[in-house]
Structure 1
Amino acid sequence: MTKNETTTILMIRPARFGYNEQTADNNAFQRRSVESNDTIRFRAVQEFDAFVEKLRRHGIDVLVVQDSPEPHTPDSIFPNNWVSFHRDGSVVLYPMFAENRRLERKQEVLAVIKSRFLVRREIDFSVHEANGRFLEGTGSFVLDRENRLAYACRSPRTDEQLFRDFCEQLDYRAIIFDAVDRNGIAIYHTNVMMCIADRYVVINLEAIVSADLISVTESLQRSGKIIVSINHEQMAAFAGNMLQVKNKHGVHYLVMSSQAFGSLQPQQMNLLESFNPILHSPLHTIEQIGGGSARCMMAEVYLPLLADHC
């Protein structure tokens, strides 16, 4: 990171969180609940607020934007799918599979970002929705920003050519592969099966098809990453859906849900904690109903601060 770079996490506080019928077809992590919509919404907000409070208590800069009730966006709590922010001042907008998720691209959110950060250019891939082509941000792919590598598993939500176009425009090298869950179903988002940190990677190697396994592991090893392998059961507990963040004092934390933390074996936990402290927070309702976890809730803002360019 550069001297003046800030590490900010954008999070969207939900207004009408709930089970999204439009995403359920290819998100195997979603589960219905017999609880009322009001109960689900209340618990999701409770989990969100407690998560934000824990991050802030550890010196992590969290920018919270309150979602609006209308238009109804049940998955707005997962902003990393529709937008990403980059060190060169780029903001990238992405084409979303579900029609109601396209409504998450609210100008109010971008206005808050632009009031604090320098935006030099916007790259908008969302026009490809009209042709049924999708690329759902840092859900569809996982970035190794320091080594300029981008990893993506093919799925109905990750168009290979759009992914390669993204890599060309943002100067990444694309590593694309096939990965499936224990039932042989394509994993819908790469960030539920792998997390890339500064010195290590948490990844479900069981999920990667044999034809692609060597190329993925060799790329990770060449970039100097120590591989911390998880299995299908741990992936189902969102142990792949983690994010390493740096607080205001330069301390790295590995952030995950309490369910993910509880799925780790002692040797895995010890290894991860040898790199950095772990922060975890209960996200059960969000995980069950939304089919996403801690990483999905955090969109990293790597844009330059406006104050540094006044």
Structure 2
Amino acid sequence: MLKDSKISHHRTSSVQNANCVVMVPPKEFKFNAETAGDNEFQHQLDLTNDQVTKQAMSEFDAMVERLRSEGVQVVEFDYPLSGTETPDAVFPNNWFSTTPDGSLYTFPMACRNRQCEVRPEALIKQLQESGRAVNKQVSLEHLVENHTYLESTGVMVFDHLNHTIYAALSQRCNKQVLNNYAQRVGYDRVVSFSTALPGSNSPIYHTNVMMAVGESFCVICDEVIVEEERRFVLKSLSKDKQIISISVDQMNHFCGNLLQLETASGQKVIAMSKSAYDAFTPAQINQLSSHGKLLPFDVSTIEQIGGGSVRCMLGEVFLPKK
């Protein structure tokens, strides 16, 4: 059943949009058989590994360059290689999150080769060199031992202005760990819900492929939320957000996988993939454009093979400046 978990805790002040993101180059990127079990967005392409790497790196470099030219700070985390390949390292938003008080959280990941992506010491060093202060590191990774997972902003979509976390429950989003994390960061409202994909009836693997929350808008594929919980979720969002409802087909083109950011000068931009941009209707493009400059990126190789898109490639940095 749907839970609107009330947890009282000291609140930290917050803003909705980050003006700095971590991005990880896809040096080992390829189809990840380990994650394909519950990620219906992944597809094998008829390309060699070298072709995949070349195309993915080209898409990544173009996205970094454009974000920087628009005034968004990009911390390029060129992570050290280890004995285990990390084909999904290009999606760093699943293993860490940051808060304005200078905390860096690391999370329990469901797949073994994705657990090897978690390199907090190297990331902290790079963040500090980029002028961001990390005052505290909190690790939730030990929860992997209990087979309980919480894949950060892949499964948690934040409404920072209302101290609310939206989350589609799945094997990658454990309800108890979710509520515990909300309590730790002082977010007193958790709206968790169940989803079912048409055809397979499987839950959505990551909330951020079906919904995105901006400062005053929300994009959501509400038809995948189970019927008895759908109205509650929409009612919660509609209090102060313009709701842009997308179809399952649009969700499959990653229309739900976008992120509103801020530039150094405070301008709003909305990062999304070109396939998402092309799948929105003209009316929806008009609605989105009223909330910020739209930045479509061609990441077709990454999103088809990896089953994640632009939002997954962006680890938001809310840490204070040093």
Distance 2:138 2:282 in 1: 43
Q: Is the 8 A contact 1:15 1:68 kept in 2?
A: no
Q: Displacement of 1:244 after TM fit?
A: 0.2
> Which residue type is aligned with residue 202 of structure 2?
I
Contact 1:8 1:62 in 2 (8 A): yes
Shift of 1:52: 0.8
Identify the residue that residue 207 of structure 2 maps to in structure 1: 190
Partner amino acid, structure 1, of 2:94? N
The answer to which of 104-113 and 83-92 deviates more is 104-113
Alignment equivalent of 1:136, drawn from 148, 151, 161: 151
Percentage of pairs with the same residue: 36
Aligned residues: 304
2:184 counterpart of 1:169: yes
Tell me the residue number matched to 1:305.
321
Distance in structure 1 (CA, Å) of the matches to 2:118 and 2:252: 28
> How big is the shift at 1:34?
1.9
Name the CA distance, whole Å, in 2 between partners of 1:102 and 1:169.
22
Which piece of structure 1 moves more, 227-236 or 13-22?
13-22
The residue identity in structure 1 corresponding to 2:230 is L
Give 1:2 shift. Answer: 7.9
Q: Which residue of 2 aligns with 1:53?
A: 65
TM-score by length of 2: 0.91
Q: Is the 8 A contact 1:6 1:305 kept in 2?
A: no
Report the CA distance between 1:272 and its aligned residue. 0.8
Residue 120 of structure 1, CA deviation: 2.3
Aligned-pair CA distance for 1:109: 1.9
Q: Is the CA contact (8 Å cut-off) linking 2:70 and 2:263 kept in structure 1? A: yes
SS in structure 1 of the partner of residue 290 of structure 2: helix
| Gaps in structure 1 of 5+ consecutive residues | none
Give the AA of the match of 1:296: C
| CA deviations over 1:56-91 (Å, ceiling 9, x no partner) | 111111111213343421110000000001111111
2:67 is paired with a residue whose SS is helix
Counterpart Cα distance in 1 of 2:163 and 2:122: 30
* Residues 1:153 and 2:165 are matched in the alignment: no
Query: Partner residue of 1:83?
Result: 96
Give the drift of 1:275.
Answer: 2.0
Which residue, out of 26, 29, 33, partners 1:14? 26
Equivalent position to 1:218, from 235, 248, 251: 235
User: Residues 6, 143 of structure 1: CA spacing in aligned structure 2 closer, same or farther, 3 A cutoff?
Assistant: closer
Structural RMSD (CA): 1.5
Q: Equivalent residue for 1:110? A: 124
CA distance, structure 1, for counterparts of residue 128 and residue 167 of structure 2: 29
Structure 1 residues 87-108: Cα deviation after superposition (integer angstroms, max 9, x where no partner): 1111110000110111111231
Cα distance change, pair 32–266 in 1 and its aligned pair in 2 (3 A): same
Contact 2:155 2:207 in 1 (8 A): yes
Q: Is the 8 A contact 1:31 1:291 kept in 2?
A: yes
Structure 1 stretches of at least 4 aligned residues deviating more than 4 Å after TM superposition: none
Moved more, 189-198 or 104-113: 104-113
Aligned mates of 1:81, 1:204 — CA distance in 2:
21
Which residue does 1:250 correspond to in 2?
A: 266
Change (3 A) 1:32 1:246: same
TM-aligned CA distance change 1:123 to 1:77, over 3 Å = same
Assess if the C-alpha contact under 8 Å between 1:204 and 1:229 holds in 2: yes
Which amino acid in the other structure matches residue 198 of structure 1?
A: E
When normalised by structure 1's length, the TM-score is: 0.95
